[in-house]
Structure 1
């Protein structure tokens, strides 16, 4: 089912497999608890965004790596089924595929352990001009600085806009490169908690360093800041099963609507819905939504307001 149409969105970063275990609550130090394995599913932040955007109708390409093992074959098979262009993804010989153990508590909140391998991220040598051919937007998860700047250089050469998904946990002790990176992208995706931590570490406000910031606030909604203005949307009441990949579903929808010509307000509204609805299934990709689901949710919301 690989889509041979001209790519629009290029996602660069991690591909993994997620082993999802439900627990009453995450264990503490030297504690042992009973859990239940409920899913083994393809994941990875970059891969999740690629799947989410593809389901919404954006032609998507993915540059990532897996190992030459069963998990790697399983992850690529799932992505190929979704119609993702995997032409430029790599299989590392003799190394295991990156995977995560995801603990999901009784409220659906996740805790995550990353089993990083040499197949965690692409190498700088994997970032070639051919991967960017025909692409109008490049989305990357935070990576090693040298890899990130190689991606930015190629995206600029291709005339593509760039977005970055940044988590505080990935910010290295030397924050200088991170500040430069933020200044080099067009759009920054970040959670409210990560934003507070990152701003404290880099010693400046992100709004002064980035052209556009889209911030998620979990059940409290999201906001977009650009051109000195801020627009906010409230959260939605959802029966949460698993929050894994909710931020990726959000980013995928926002990018899809922006690339389709929508303004930031409509993109934020749709992304907020996509992120909320994604929590109704286990795993980072199972809950990715279609455009029909978003439109039906919007219509139901409008009807509730009209009938109030």
Structure 2
């Protein structure tokens, strides 16, 4: 089982020819609303990849609250832990250009009420996985990870948005997922991502996964390093690709897959998520991931 104490948003998607420069206004013919938020995105991606997922968070009592709650449930996520807040449901405004690149502004709203204590203690047991991001209050994310670690559950943190990570937090993690910029903030030093990941993994006895966009991803443990390429696709929208990667990675690790297999399927899932518009609406199901798995070579072990 995967437990996600995290963020949930209503995403407003604006397809534009080019993204606006500072001070510039751009027009587009329409917009669409979709379910988003890194916590919700990763929970949905894990559920679609076959995991049993429980979500804990907050939505507002506005029109968006019931809508996003239902959409997350429709994705296969248990939402009994999603409760109402007097604050408005979080909203993300997302511009997506013709190349699939995006700009995002998020109003956190009800996400700021989500806290570690929402997760019942009986779910924090060995064999379960707690998956966190950094879109609720950072101190609550760290508390949730500490509770899970003390109870013997697997702990996964996607450090997005990035922030400095205290050594005590790193020591409680089983898996850290970051991109090329986030690992610089996590370590506080400059360097090549693979080297930084390997050093972090050795010092804190954890697995560090670094996503590299079109260059694929790398994973480092205290003893080994792996590299996986990106699957060749024609991208439509890169919004949510990182969340798809993390959710699929968590799902495969939770079911007992090896790091190599989980890394591979996560790379496949992230690529497939770029072939359609939106974040959760673009996420692949497990059967789609397995059907396309042969299109990408398995990770290679680095010396």
The TM-score with structure 2 as length reference comes to 0.87
- CA change 1:20–1:77 in 2 (3 A) is same
What residue is the counterpart of 2:300 in the other structure?
none
What residue is the counterpart of 2:181 in the other structure?
193
Inter-partner Cα distance in structure 1 for 2:189 and 2:179 = 15
Inter-partner Cα distance in structure 1 for 2:59 and 2:127 = 23
Which of 232, 240, 255 matches 1:237? 232
Shift of 1:144: 2.9
- CA change 1:45–1:112 in 2 (3 A) is same
What residue is the counterpart of 1:267 in the other structure?
262
Instruction: Say whether the 8 Å CA contact 2:112–2:137 is kept in structure 1.
Output: no
What residue is the counterpart of 1:162 in the other structure?
155
Q: Deviations over 1:235-293 (max 9, x none)?
A: 12211111111111111111111122211111111110000000122221011112221
- CA change 1:147–1:100 in 2 (3 A) is same
Shift of 1:157: 4.3
**1:89 paired to 2:77:** no
- CA change 1:36–1:228 in 2 (3 A) is farther
**Unaligned residue ranges in structure 1 (runs of 5+):** 1-7, 303-308
Inter-partner Cα distance in structure 2 for 1:232 and 1:275 = 15
Instruction: Say whether the 8 Å CA contact 1:13–1:121 is kept in structure 2.
Output: no
Which of 203, 206, 214 matches 2:200? 206
**Unaligned residue ranges in structure 2 (runs of 5+):** 298-303
Inter-partner Cα distance in structure 1 for 2:126 and 2:57 = 18
What residue is the counterpart of 1:140 in the other structure?
132
**1:224 paired to 2:219:** yes
What residue is the counterpart of 2:301 in the other structure?
none
CA RMSD of aligned residues (A): 2.3
**1:80 paired to 2:73:** yes
Which of 115, 121, 125 matches 1:129? 121
Q: Deviations over 1:46-94 (max 9, x none)?
A: 11111111112111100111111111111001011122111222111x3
What residue is the counterpart of 1:5 in the other structure?
none
What residue is the counterpart of 1:106 in the other structure?
98
Shift of 1:25: 2.3
Shift of 1:96: 0.8
Inter-partner Cα distance in structure 1 for 2:10 and 2:179 = 23
Inter-partner Cα distance in structure 1 for 2:122 and 2:12 = 33
